[in-house]
Structure 1
Amino acid sequence: MEVVIAPAEELAVLAADAIEALLRRRADTVLGLATGSSPLKVYDELARRHAEEGLSFAEARGFMLDEYVGLDADHPERYRNVIATEIAERVAWPAERVQGPDGLAADLPAACAAYEEAIRAAGGVDLQILGIGTDGHIAFNEPGSSLASRTRIKTLTKQTREDNARFFDGDVDRVPTHCLTQGLGTIMDARHLVLLATGRHKAEAVHQLVEGPVSALWPATVMQLHPHATVLVDEAAASRLQLADYYRQTYASKPSWQGL
């Protein structure tokens, strides 16, 4: 696991560099897309490169991490709409090439199985963007999630619903209680995991992710078992890391050709 500590703007550039390198090398790259605040600066940087430098997403595929269950198709916080607004429409990404689990399906387990099959049929995810919750969840894999889990329906914790109430005018009662989410096993199948976290409120989760024991209590710790995992954090999010100086030294000594 590589840990990079830098200002948020620099972290976004590093993540965008990794995505651009994939797209320039292979136009049909498969990207894993996260919602929430963590990837927004990355999406801003990718939109800039599309507008100013011609970075194309026309042949790429995108798979979302998760989706709320039961939100109306036109609800602004339905994650399919959030992804369209934050990245897909800004880079002229054809809508049919960006998929998410169907939170309005009549048969939710079947929808989850179909989503797993769609990811497999696309050849798997090349680079998965991730954020992390204050309780250590990635996607909507709440504490207690199986480290081998696949796409499924989950009940959101009180903490997650309170954290996400800011997207629902501060009203936690408007936050759905259930979601569909890629499982930890599904996420671990991606060839490169890139997690971004900023702010002191993420510090404990980042500490557990990087330096704690692998445990379902902190689901993101499963990333320690991945052969190519990158953790991009600002100084505030890194404030609990015991080996922060070592991570800084390692990154400063990294060959310029290596990339993430």
Structure 2
Amino acid sequence: MGSRILKYYLAFWVFGFLFFGGAGIPGNPGGQTLYAQEMAGRTGYEESARDSDGLSEAWLETLRERPEELKQMYTADAVRVFADGNTFQGDDQLAALWTDQDLEVDSLATIGLLEPHDDTYRYEVSELTLRDGRTFRMLVIWNLEWPGPRRELEMVEEVRPVKNYREQLKVRRTQWMSHCNAHEVNQLVRELYTPDALYYNHRPMITGREALINTYQYMRNPRYKLSLEPLLVAPVNEKLIFEIGQCSGSYPGKYILVWTRDEEGKWWIMMDSNI
């Protein structure tokens, strides 16, 4: 297992250095926002799948051929996030969520693979299709440190059609930047985040508005400014959207936002991450 993971690990780094350096989404010229449902069948979509062979393909091969080793594809304290905001933690537990099911996987395609501020990580959105026709969208944070690529966080939800979200998300994203740049931490969190929102950044998961307000105190600095530019928006279903984008200003890295829609049709951030 170790030599096989090392092979994928080295292949991934060499390919990334030569072709895209982790700077953006494969098949995304110009850095414009990509919407996942528009990518199916495009060259960029297919190239993305090949670009990630060192990550998703190793994970899928292990699930299919050596399920008893799947825990080795996760960090010891890996986290699964569910759409209701609950979490599950531990390599054994996350591996069992897959191996305890009788899944027949037809295909796994990467929609986007991006390098965050820390180059020992990757953000990935991919699509898993089963032979029974069901499709699942996955959001994954990969840890590339030795002994090899491992999943540190994942979110997996079934895909269903979703409409009329782009302008709504744009408005909410603009509100986020407005509160942030006005140093209105309380308003930012209370008006944009769900009551049990999650924040993940190299530390145990932070949960809830009060904890997030405490974490975001650095935004009160009068010099703190931030802009958000979405690079990949991947709608999952009528209540869930994955977004990966680029920050500029006081923080130069990538961000992840997971949006959830309430019964009144308003979008809220249920998970925020930047590494």
* Normalised TM-score (structure 2): 0.27
Q: Which structure is larger by alpha-carbon Rg, 1 or 2? A: 2
* Normalised TM-score (structure 1): 0.28
Normalized per residue, the structure richer in strand is 2
Normalized per residue, the structure richer in helix is 1
